[in-house]
Amino acid sequence: MKKKSRKKNKPSNIRLGVNLDHVATLRQVRGGSTPYPDLLLFVKKAVAGGADQITIHLREDRRHIQEQDLARIVKSCKVTVNLEMAVSEEMTQMALKYTPGYVCLVPEKRQELTTEGGLNVAAKEFEIKSLVDKLKTKKIRVSTFIEPSILQVEASKRAGAVAIEFHTGKWVHLKGSQARDEWSRLVEAAERAHTLGLQVHAGHGLDYASTSKIAKLPHLEEVNIGHFLVCEALAVGMKKSVQHMKKILKKGRNS
User: Counting contacts by CB under 6 A, is residue 52 touching ligand PXP?
Assistant: no
Q: What angle (nearest 5°) sits at the alpha carbon of residue 11, between those of residues 105 and 156?
A: 25
Binding residue (CB under 6 A) for ligand PXP from 45, 64, 65, 84: 84
Closer Cβ to ligand PXP, 115 or 152, answer by number = 115
Residue 57 catalytic? yes
One-letter amino acid for residue 254 of the chain = N
Rounded to whole angstroms, the Cα distance separating 194 from 164 reads 10
User: Counting contacts by CB under 6 A, is residue 57 touching ligand PXP?
Assistant: yes
Closer Cβ to ligand PXP, 8 or 117, answer by number = 117
Site string for ligand PXP, 163-192 (x = CB under 6 A): --x---------------------------
Least separation in angstroms between CB 171 and ligand PXP: 12
Least separation in angstroms between CB 92 and ligand PXP: 17
Beta strand 53-57 pairing with 80-85: parallel
Nearest to 189 by CA among 228, 145, 232, 231: 145
Residue 219 catalytic? no
User: Counting contacts by CB under 6 A, is residue 106 touching ligand PXP?
Assistant: yes
Q: Is the CB of residue 92 less than 8 Å from the CB of residue 128?
A: no
Nearest to 165 by CA among 184, 141, 183, 190: 190
The residues that are catalytic are 57, 84, 204
